[in-house]
């Protein structure tokens, strides 16, 4: 069981934690930009989606780089996990709409897959 934990669950959890950290860092950067440029509140949703996309891409790239095979599957796992975390946060802290959930799902899966494929095909092993 220890081998299963080390080789499957730990890299997945590490990549999702790093991806969420990257997403939070991008969100803080975008909020600072919004504050500095005095942008209206309507910019917050697209910038939030962009920060989520950055986090999903980062998580997929790290897991794809660690596994070095099946980049699409690794990206789907990371994008799906980050989507579920965001959906859980939406249920706890706010309202959830169908089109918002669908947009986040598509963005999470697409950027997670692209990150997983780029991580598998990168020359640097993570």
Is 126 part of any domain?
Answer: no
Per-residue model confidence as pLDDT tens digits over 62-104 = 999 988 888 899 999 999 999 999 999 999 998 888 999 999 9
Q: How far apart are CA 18 and CA 47, in angstroms?
A: 19
Enter the tokens of residue 124.
């640097």
The CA dihedral of 84, 21, 126, 71, to the nearest 10 degrees, is 30
Strand segments (E) across 20-125: none
Within a domain: 34: yes
Instruction: Tell me how many domains the chain contains.
Output: 1
Would you state the torsion angle of the CA atoms of residues 10, 13, 17, 19, taken in this order, to the nearest 10 degrees?
Answer: 110
Q: What is the CA radius of gyration of the chain?
A: 15
Domain assignment present for 94? yes
pLDDT one-digit tens code per residue, 28-72: 999 999 999 999 999 999 999 999 999 999 999 999 998 888 889
> Which residues form the domain of 92?
2-120
């Amino acid at each position: 069981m220890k081998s299963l934990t080390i080789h499957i669950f730990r890299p997945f959890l590490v990549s999702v934690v790093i991806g969420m950290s990257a997403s939070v860092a991008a969100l803080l950067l975008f909020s600072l930009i919004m504050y500095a440029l005095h942008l209206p509140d309507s910019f917050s949703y697209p910038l939030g989606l962009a920060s989520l996309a950055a986090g999903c891409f980062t998580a997929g790239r790290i897991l794809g780089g660690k596994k070095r095979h099946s980049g699409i599957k690794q990206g789907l796992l990371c994008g799906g996990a980050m989507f579920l975390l965001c959906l859980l946060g939406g249920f706890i802290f706010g309202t959830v709409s169908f089109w918002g959930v669908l947009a986040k799902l598509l963005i999470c899966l697409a950027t997670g897959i692209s990150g997983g494929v780029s991580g598998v095909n990168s020359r640097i092993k993570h």
